[in-house]
Amino acid sequence: MNRFMWKGGLVVLGGTIQGFGMGLFLFPHFIPSGGAGGLAVLLNYTFGLGMGAALWVVNFTFLLLAVNYFGKRFVVWTVIAITITSLSVDFFQQQNLIVNRHLLYDLVLGSVFLGTGVGILMRQGVSNGGIGVVALMISSGRNILPGRPLFLLNGCIFVITALIIDLRLIFLALISQWISTKMVDLICQLQFYRLYTLGFRKKP
């Protein structure tokens, strides 16, 4: 029970920190937080769908790919994570906590919080949804840290998003991804408790 509560707390924490970075710092500038974030930005830009709702729809769609690979328990935990993240994004977007915005500060701070949140989730064997699911599949199969495949996959979506909305976004998005994926690998390499593990396994 203690192990379950500890993991549950970290999943909520990771999702909240991720949503904080996205909703308060990145999304106000339309900077994609990742592949799923890029697709969510496109849905928001094209159809006017709220960022939190768009992010949840994209994440859940990608998550369906993981059912047969990681199993139902993984999917349940990830649904919790993406729900907390989506609610956090909507909450922090509605808070006028930053009066005088600075693009560079928001880019760096948002990316650091984003990577920290994603790293906490991945250390629990939980995906942040979206492209993170595919990155976990690759890191699991090849026994590598998830930051590099996450960066490469997200980069492809950034190009598409920038071509549709604004070419300048690709540079901001790639910088954000570089910072956030470095944070993901940093968090994943830290040694705290045995509860943390990079030993993702396919379901029996």
pLDDT digits (tens, 9 = 90+) for 79-127: 899 999 999 999 998 887 787 889 999 999 999 999 999 899 988 888 7
| Per-residue pLDDT tens digits for 61-86 | 878 876 777 778 878 888 899 999 99
pLDDT recorded at residue 197: 44
* H helix count then E strand count, the chain: 9, 0
Residue 204 confidence (pLDDT): 45
Residue 4 lies in a domain: no
pLDDT digits (tens, 9 = 90+) for 152-198: 887 888 888 888 888 888 889 889 988 998 998 899 887 654 444 44
| Contacting residues for 167 by C-beta, under 8 A, at least 6 apart | none
In a domain, 178, yes or no: yes
98 φ, ψ (degrees, to nearest 5): -115, 115
Domain count, the chain: 1
Domain assignment present for residue 201? The answer is no
Name residue 46's amino acid. T
The model's pTM: 0.78
Which residue range forms the structural domain that includes residue 173?
Answer: 12-96+103-189
Q: Does residue 84 lie in a domain region?
A: yes
Between 146 and 164, name the one with better pLDDT: 164
Is residue 139 situated within a structural domain?
Answer: yes
1 band by pLDDT with thresholds 50, 70 and 90: low
Residue 191 confidence (pLDDT): 61
Q: How many residues does the chain have?
A: 204
Domain membership flag for residue 198: no
**Is residue 116 included in any domain, yes or no?**
yes
Q: Is residue 65 part of a domain?
A: yes
What is the average pLDDT score of the chain? 83
DSSP 30: T
CA-wise closest residue to 37 among 154, 179, 166, 178: 154
Taking the CA atoms of residue 125, residue 43, residue 182 and residue 187 in that order, the dihedral angle to the nearest 10 degrees is -30
- Per the CB < 8 A criterion, the answer to whether 163 and 103 are in contact is no
pLDDT at 37 over 70: yes
